[in-house]
């Protein structure tokens, strides 16, 4: 009995390890680098330009399929490429009736991306509280880090102990502002490499969002009064001199809001079908438009809005990913499932299962029948060897490898 159990563990070990490594090596050999197209919106043509890559050649097409080279593209996207155009003296003086000034272009240009593994991530829950009005040009790293648990606590780096006075000061202040401890999410930009500091946006235990920072050594705290019904999973704060919005709020159902500087008013982006677990969120902005793309493994959905976030135009494109190509089809016949412990879309290790579906059933069935004959040739009656057949039926080639390598030594295996 015990030995039989031990053999089953051995079989499962082989199945587990091979279901990770065999597909891994298979894909190392056969995976094709499929380039994701990038979608731009030209304020000159008022139309999309799609950047494609083919055999190391980069080119741009519009929706009608007309091709453009890099020089054409730069002319058609003057705000994105203003520095190159200035160098070549090709920047137009005005566009859509507005003058094009270098400082204004720079101020209005936005480029940000949020990857799924950035959302599915858990940093060490300690953050530095910057002095946001130090009177200095450069931000400085403080001598302490804070946590927001049962109270607001500053831990001094030198002594590794709590700065009681400062902690009490912040705790009292936050309590006065009706902050409910502990914090659920603390979002900020813990770096000195930013233009200025807006501190942190903190979701309290009652789903109220607070803006907390330190001004001249004193706590600053504002309840943003955003509705507590939003299922916020992530916030991206970006201190931009444009001061249009503090950052973005991502919710579980896939809505994205901007927290605007105007009374923390939330602006909902007109997105459709954003899967925060799998899609890359990309936001490009300039003086006239906002281009927002959701990039999946085999499609891109782009909307263009004006500066008030009303939709101007939409674009969608799909392509084949590796699983649709020959190697993927072959894999789906051979491997009943593929197991990965690490996934590009998450910063956590976990079981990332990919079932091959219907196609693999036939392969597994053939192998299970083969297993039956192998058992017969080993003189093992089905009554004793049924587990081998079952394991091959469910795990296909992985189980088959296991039973080939680990013989059912004899029919009286205890």
Partner 1 sequence: MYSALLYKEWLKIRWAFFGMALLSLLALTYIALNLAYYVEFMTAKGFWGNVILLGFPFFSEIEYIPLLSGIVIAIVQFSPEMNLSRLKLTLHLPVEENKLLMQMISFGFMLLILLFVLITLMLWIIVGIYLPVEVVIFVLNSLFPWLMVGLTAYFLTAAIIIEPVWARRLILVPFTLGFLDLFFNAVNPHAQLTVFFIFSGLLTSTLILFSGYHFKRGIK
Q: Which of these, 397, 387, 389, lies nearest to 338 by C-alpha position?
A: 397
Q: 124-128 long-range CB contacts below 8 Å, 24 or more apart?
A: 125/186, 126/155, 127/186, 127/188, 127/190, 127/200, 128/190
Tokens representing 336? 């009943």
Question: Which residues, 6+ apart, have CB-to-CB distance to 99 below 8 Å?
Answer: 93
Instruction: Report 12-51 residues binding partner 1 (CB under 8 A).
Output: 13-14, 16-18, 20-21
Binds partner 1 by CB under 8 A, chosen from 102, 329, 330, 341: 341
Asked if residues 116 and 280 have their Cβ atoms less than 8 Å apart, the reply is: yes
**Gap between the Cα atoms of 151 and 167, Å rounded:** 8
Residue with smaller CB distance to partner 1, 157 or 390? 157
Half-sphere exposure for 390 (CA within 13 Å, toward CB): 8
Q: Is 93 in the site for partner 1 (CB under 8 A)?
A: no
Q: Is 254 in the site for partner 1 (CB under 8 A)?
A: no
**Gap between the Cα atoms of 192 and 139, Å rounded:** 5
Residue with smaller CB distance to partner 1, 16 or 59? 16
Residue with smaller CB distance to partner 1, 93 or 414? 414
Binds partner 1 by CB under 8 A, chosen from 110, 168, 169, 413: 413
Binds partner 1 by CB under 8 A, chosen from 52, 53, 108, 125: 125
Direct distance between the N- and C-terminal alpha carbons of the chain, in angstroms, rounded to an integer: 5
Q: Binding marks (x or -) toward partner 1, 342..381, rule CB under 8 A?
A: x----xxxxx------------------------------
Q: How many chain residues bind partner 1 (CB under 8 A)?
A: 44
Binds partner 1 by CB under 8 A, chosen from 55, 122, 137, 377: 122
CA-to-CA dists, residue 362 to 149, 220, 335, 369, angstroms = 55, 65, 11, 11
Asked if residues 290 and 282 have their Cβ atoms less than 8 Å apart, the reply is: no
Q: Is 190 in the site for partner 1 (CB under 8 A)?
A: yes
Residue with smaller CB distance to partner 1, 304 or 339? 339
Region of 137-145, 173-181, 237-245, 365-373 interacting with partner 1 (CB under 8 A): 137-145
Region of 60-68, 140-148, 232-240, 382-390 interacting with partner 1 (CB under 8 A): 140-148
Q: Binding marks (x or -) toward partner 1, 146..165, rule CB under 8 A?
A: -x-------x-xx-x-----
Q: Which of these, 187, 217, 207, lies nearest to 125 by C-alpha position?
A: 187
Question: What letter would DSSP give residue 51?
Answer: E
Q: Which residues bind partner 1 (CB under 8 A)?
A: 2-3, 5-7, 9-10, 13-14, 16-18, 20-21, 122, 124-126, 128, 141-145, 147, 155, 157-158, 160, 190-191, 341-342, 347-351, 405-406, 409-410, 413-414
């Amino acid at each position: 009995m015990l030995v039989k159990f031990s053999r089953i563990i051995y079989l499962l070990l082989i199945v587990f390890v091979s279901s990770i490594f065999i597909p891994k090596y298979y894909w190392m050999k056969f995976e094709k680098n499929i380039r994701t197209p990038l979608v731009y919106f030209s304020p000159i043509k008022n139309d999309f330009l799609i950047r494609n890559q083919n055999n190391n050649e980069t080119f741009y097409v519009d929706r009608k399929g007309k091709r453009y080279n890099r020089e054409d593209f730069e002319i058609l996207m003057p705000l994105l490429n203003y520095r190159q155009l200035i160098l070549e003296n090709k920047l137009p003086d005005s566009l859509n009736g507005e003058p094009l000034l270098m400082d204004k272009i720079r101020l209005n240009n936005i480029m940000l991306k949020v990857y799924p593994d950035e959302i599915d991530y858990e940093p060490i829950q300690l953050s530095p509280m910057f002095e946001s009005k130090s009177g200095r040009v450069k931000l400085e790293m403080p001598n302490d880090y804070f946590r927001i648990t049962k109270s607001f606590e500053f831990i001094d780096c030198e002594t590794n102990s709590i700065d009681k006075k400062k902690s009490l000061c912040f705790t009292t202040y936050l309590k006065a502002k009706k902050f409910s401890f502990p914090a659920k999410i603390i979002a900020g930009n813990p770096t000195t490499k930013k233009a200025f500091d807006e501190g942190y946006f903190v979701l309290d235990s009652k789903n109220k969002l607070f803006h907390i920072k330190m001004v001249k050594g004193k706590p600053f705290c504002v309840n943003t009064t955003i509705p507590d019904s939003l299922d916020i999973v992530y916030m991206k704060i970006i201190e931009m001199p444009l001061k249009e919005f503090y950052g973005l709020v991502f919710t579980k159902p896939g809505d994205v809001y901007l927290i605007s500087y105007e009374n923390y008013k939330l602006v909902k982006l007109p997105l459709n079908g954003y899967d925060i677990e799998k899609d890359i969120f990309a936001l490009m902005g300039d003086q006239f438009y906002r281009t927002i793309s959701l990039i999946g493994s085999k499609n891109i959905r782009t909307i263009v809005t004006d500066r008030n976030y009303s939709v101007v135009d939409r674009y969608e494109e799909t392509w084949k990913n590796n699983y649709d190509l020959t190697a993927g089809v072959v894999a789906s016949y051979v491997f009943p499932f593929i197991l990965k412990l690490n996934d590009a879309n998450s910063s956590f290790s976990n079981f990332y299962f990919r079932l091959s579906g219907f196609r693999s059933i036939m392969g597994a069935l053939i192998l299970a029948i083969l297993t039956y004959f192998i058992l017969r040739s080993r003189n093992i009656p089905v009554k004793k060897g049924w587990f081998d057949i079952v394991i091959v039926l469910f795990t296909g080639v992985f189980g088959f490898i296991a039973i080939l390598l680990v013989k059912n030594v004899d029919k009286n295996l205890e």
